């Protein structure tokens, strides 16, 4: 795991610092809006842990501090092998709370999907069943996760196979808690892509929230893309007023029982979803046990814009969704089927397009003899990138016919003085050809700094968009999101635009929280 660039150096702990006389900081693993996570080691036991520390600017917000501590209580109360193990809690000298968790040397399910696309059916069923078991244990003690998503699932290689862990119970809700709400009435907590329609309206939490979210995760694993997506939270939640597309529209060859399960999980009405997470686990395990289960063909890695975890103001979202959702959830007046309501966004948002897989990146047009080689995976891949190696079948290597015919005359041409030949364009020079070859070699070697270096000379490229596309890719990989956005401002290529959207999202996530 790679650390993100900190915004407030004073708020971060120094490498070598000892927290609460127990944990020595080794390195920063990541940073979010509320806290930072470090790799640390217990000075007495020598055990490596992940140490999550609240940011100092949140100390004055009692609700945030309570939610932070709630994560430790919720996860430790469940005690399930598919839920991250919480080891310890405490406070820094300045009062900031921390949580010590087991250190997991793996990658998130989101990173796995972005890098490798849709999974084989057996693997998706195994991972989905593990998540369902974790949710069943969570619901059994009266807790709703409320923010289940691909980013909150860790996949860890193990001797006996892949280990699946659900984490981040920071916004979980206790169904039996009659005390003060941890979020104000009228506020919806969660991540829009995964939020159930009723969750977006700030309805009281129920296990149906998590069942819907698991349906989204299953849809992503099997198809490579979410069932409903958009560029803003409001746009996504508006689209949830109508039924999600059936998984069969993208994966018609999957087992019928599996398609029906995912479609039921994504039902608008909570009562139409599976009764509990244990039922989901049973169906997935039964499907996975079928001897004729198709392996499925993983889809290409899909670049997906993430609208991050939100505490959505009910006055904004509910005002847009309430009428449509009320219509959708009401019992039918008569058995005659009617068309679903058409929602007209106040901001005239475009209609929801059917998600399409992002096409692979073709090599720069200026390379005379592109080689059909696959892009090697970097040793430490940066999250949220797409495979940019184009299969040989998609490359047009047939040279354009060159006109060589010259007019002939009956008599020999009259000799004329030798004229100065027209100056060749700069991009045709030997030096520029070498720069383009070096840029392509850098791309194939995942040498992103080298790729930026060899694309600096604009005059070496006859196609401005081909050059800018390479610079967008390199900037994304290097975490230079501002440069990535600037380089891609005028591009219309779908793949490049998807990278720019990733940079915009990551850039916004790195901005200080209000």
| pLDDT digits 0-9 by tens, 62-88 | 877 887 887 777 777 788 999 999 899
DSSP 58: G
User: Of the given ranges (121-125, 338-342, 498-502), which has the lowest mean pLDDT?
Assistant: 338-342
For residues 43 and 143, membership in a common domain is answered with: no
Tokens (6 digits) for 225: 């893309």
**Is the per-residue pLDDT at 375 higher than 90?**
no
* Residues above pLDDT 90, as percent of the chain: 36
For residues 292 and 432, membership in a common domain is answered with: no
CB atoms within 10 A of CB 17: 13
For residues 139 and 85, membership in a common domain is answered with: no
For residues 91 and 235, membership in a common domain is answered with: no
Considering 329, 363, 397, which residue would you say is the last residue of a domain?
A: 329
Cβ-based burial of 206 (10 A; exposed 0-12, middle 13-18, buried ≥19): middle
- Answer whether residue 494 is part of any domain: yes
- Nearest of 18, 261, 267, 235 to residue 125 by alpha carbon: 261
DSSP 395: -
Which ranges constitute the DSSP H helices of 177-306? 197-200, 207-223, 233-239, 256-265, 277-288
- DSSP per position, 431-471: HHHHHHHHHHHHHHTT-HHHHHHTT--GGG-S-HHHHHHHH
The residue written with tokens 């991972």 in the block is 127
Tokens (6 digits) for 430: 């030997």
- 7-23 average pLDDT score: 80
- Answer whether residue 194 is part of any domain: yes
Alpha carbons 465 and 476: distance in angstroms, whole number: 16
For residues 131 and 228, membership in a common domain is answered with: yes
User: Which residues have C-beta within 8 Å of that of residue 158, sequence separation ≥ 6?
Assistant: none
For residues 158 and 300, membership in a common domain is answered with: yes
CB atoms within 10 A of CB 360: 16
pLDDT band for position 334 (50/70/90)?
very low
For residue 243, the domain's CATH number is 1.10.510.10
Cβ-based burial of 464 (10 A; exposed 0-12, middle 13-18, buried ≥19): exposed
Secondary structure class of 64 (helix, strand, coil): helix
Q: Contact, 76 vs 83, CB < 8 A?
A: no
Q: SS3 helix, strand, coil % of the chain, rounded to 5?
A: 40, 10, 50
- Answer whether residue 199 is part of any domain: yes
**Is the per-residue pLDDT at 303 higher than 60?**
no
- Nearest of 65, 8, 67, 13 to residue 37 by alpha carbon: 13
User: Is the alpha carbon torsion for 154, 158, 162, 165 positive or negative?
Assistant: negative
- DSSP per position, 386-438: ---PPPGGG---PPPP--------SSPPPP-PPPPPPPPPGGGSHHHHHHHHH
For residue 13, the domain's CATH number is 3.30.200.20
The model's pTM: 0.58
- 134-146 average pLDDT score: 91
CB atoms within 10 A of CB 514: 5
Whole-number pLDDT of residue 349: 40
User: Of the given ranges (11-25, 73-87, 357-371, 455-469), which has the lowest mean pLDDT?
Assistant: 357-371
**Is the per-residue pLDDT at 423 higher than 70?**
no
User: Of the given ranges (91-105, 241-255, 364-378, 432-446), which has the lowest mean pLDDT?
Assistant: 364-378
- Answer whether residue 367 is part of any domain: no
For residues 307 and 208, membership in a common domain is answered with: yes
Q: Contact, 165 vs 82, CB < 8 A?
A: yes
- Answer whether residue 385 is part of any domain: no
For residues 167 and 94, membership in a common domain is answered with: no
Q: Contact, 295 vs 122, CB < 8 A?
A: yes
Alpha carbons 471 and 465: distance in angstroms, whole number: 10
Secondary structure class of 4 (helix, strand, coil): coil
Q: Which residue has the higher pLDDT, 47 or 78?
A: 47
For residues 234 and 94, membership in a common domain is answered with: no
User: Is the alpha carbon torsion for 62, 67, 72, 78 positive or negative?
Assistant: positive
State which residues form the domain around 497. Answer: 426-514
Q: Which residue has the higher pLDDT, 391 or 475?
A: 475
Largest CA distance in the chain: 106
Q: Which residue has the higher pLDDT, 391 or 204?
A: 204
Tokens (6 digits) for 422: 């027209």
pLDDT band for position 248 (50/70/90)?
very high
For residues 130 and 255, membership in a common domain is answered with: yes
Q: How many domains does the chain have?
A: 3
Considering 68, 83, 102, which residue would you say is the last residue of a domain?
A: 102
**Is the per-residue pLDDT at 92 higher than 80?**
yes
Whole-number pLDDT of residue 338: 41
- Answer whether residue 375 is part of any domain: no
For residues 94 and 169, membership in a common domain is answered with: no
For residues 132 and 197, membership in a common domain is answered with: yes
Alpha carbons 105 and 487: distance in angstroms, whole number: 34
Tell me the average pLDDT of the chain: 74
Alpha carbons 365 and 425: distance in angstroms, whole number: 16
Whole-number pLDDT of residue 170: 55
Whole-number pLDDT of residue 201: 84
Alpha carbons 171 and 191: distance in angstroms, whole number: 11
Alpha carbons 145 and 167: distance in angstroms, whole number: 9
Whole-number pLDDT of residue 312: 46
- Answer whether residue 419 is part of any domain: no
- Nearest of 366, 370, 357 to residue 444 by alpha carbon: 370
Considering 67, 102, 137, which residue would you say is the last residue of a domain?
A: 102
Angle at 7 between CA 4 and CA 12, to 5 degrees: 80
- Nearest of 189, 162, 147 to residue 63 by alpha carbon: 189
Alpha carbons 473 and 466: distance in angstroms, whole number: 11
E strand or H helix that includes residue 310: strand 310-313
Whole-number pLDDT of residue 294: 56
Q: Which entry of 8, 14, 88, 147 is annotated as an active-site residue?
A: 147
> Is 147 a residue of the active site?
yes
- Answer whether residue 267 is part of any domain: yes
CB atoms within 10 A of CB 33: 15
Alpha carbon 242 to its chain centroid, in Å, reads: 23
């Amino acid at each position: 795991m790679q650390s993100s660039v900190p915004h407030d150096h004073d708020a971060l702990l120094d490498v070598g610092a000892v927290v609460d006389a127990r944990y020595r900081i080794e390195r920063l693993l990541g940073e979010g809006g509320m806290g930072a996570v470090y790799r640390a080691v217990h000075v007495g036991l020598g055990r490596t842990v992940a140490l999550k520390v609240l940011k100092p600017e949140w100390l004055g917000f009692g609700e945030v501090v309570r939610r932070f501590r709630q994560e430790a209580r919720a996860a430790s109360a469940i005690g399930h092998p598919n839920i991250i193990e919480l080891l310890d809690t405490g406070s820094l000298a300045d009062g900031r709370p921390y949580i010590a968790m087991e250190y997991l040397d793996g990658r998130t399910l989101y990173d796995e999907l972005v890098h490798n696309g849709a999974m084989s059916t057996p693997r998706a069923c195994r991972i989905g069943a593990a998540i369902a078991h974790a949710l069943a244990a969570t619901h059994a003690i009266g807790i709703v996760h409320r923010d289940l998503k691909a980013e909150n699932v860790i996949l860890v290689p193990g001797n006996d196979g892949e280990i699946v862990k659900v984490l981040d119970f920071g916004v979980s809700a206790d169904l039996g808690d009659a005390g003060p709400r941890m979020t104000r009435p009228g506020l919806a907590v969660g991540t829009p892509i995964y939020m159930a329609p009723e969750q977006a309206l700030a309805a009281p939490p129920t296990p149906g929230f998590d069942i819907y979210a698991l349906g989204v995760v299953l849809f992503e694993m099997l198809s490579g893309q979410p069932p409903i997506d958009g560029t803003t939270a409001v746009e996504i939640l508006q689209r949830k007023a109508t039924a999600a597309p059936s998984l069969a529209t993208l994966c018609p060859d999957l087992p019928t029982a599996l398609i029906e399960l995912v479609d039921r999980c994504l039902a608008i009405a909570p009562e139409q979803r599976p009764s509990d997470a244990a039922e989901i686990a049973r169906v997935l395990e039964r499907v996975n046990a079928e001897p004729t289960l198709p392996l499925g063909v993983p889809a290409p890695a899909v670049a997906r814009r993430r609208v991050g975890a939100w505490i959505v103001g009910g006055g904004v979202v509910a005002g847009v969704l309430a009428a449509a959702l009320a219509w959708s959830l009401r019992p039918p007046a008569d058995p005659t089927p009617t068309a679903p309501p058409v929602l007209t966004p106040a901001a005239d948002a475009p209609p929801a397009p059917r998600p399409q897989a992002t096409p692979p990146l073709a090599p720069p047009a200026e390379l005379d003899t592109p080689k059909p080689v696959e892009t090697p995976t970097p040793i430490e891949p940066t999250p949220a990138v797409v495979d940019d190696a184009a299969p040989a079948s998609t490359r047009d290597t047939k040279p354009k016919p060159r006109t060589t015919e010259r007019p002939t005359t009956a008599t020999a041409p009259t000799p004329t003085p030798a004229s100065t030949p027209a100056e060749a364009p700069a991009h045709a020079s030997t030096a520029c050809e070498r720069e383009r070859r070096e840029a392509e070699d850098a791309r194939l070697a995942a040498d992103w700094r080298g790729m930026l270096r060899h694309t600096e000379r604009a005059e070496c490229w006859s196609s401005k968009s081909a050059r800018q596309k390479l610079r967008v890719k390199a900037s994304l990989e290097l975490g230079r999101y501002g440069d990535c956005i600037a380089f891609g401002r005028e591009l219309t290529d779908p793949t490049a635009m998807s990278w720019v959207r990733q940079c915009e999202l990551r850039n916004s996530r790195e901005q200080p929280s209000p």
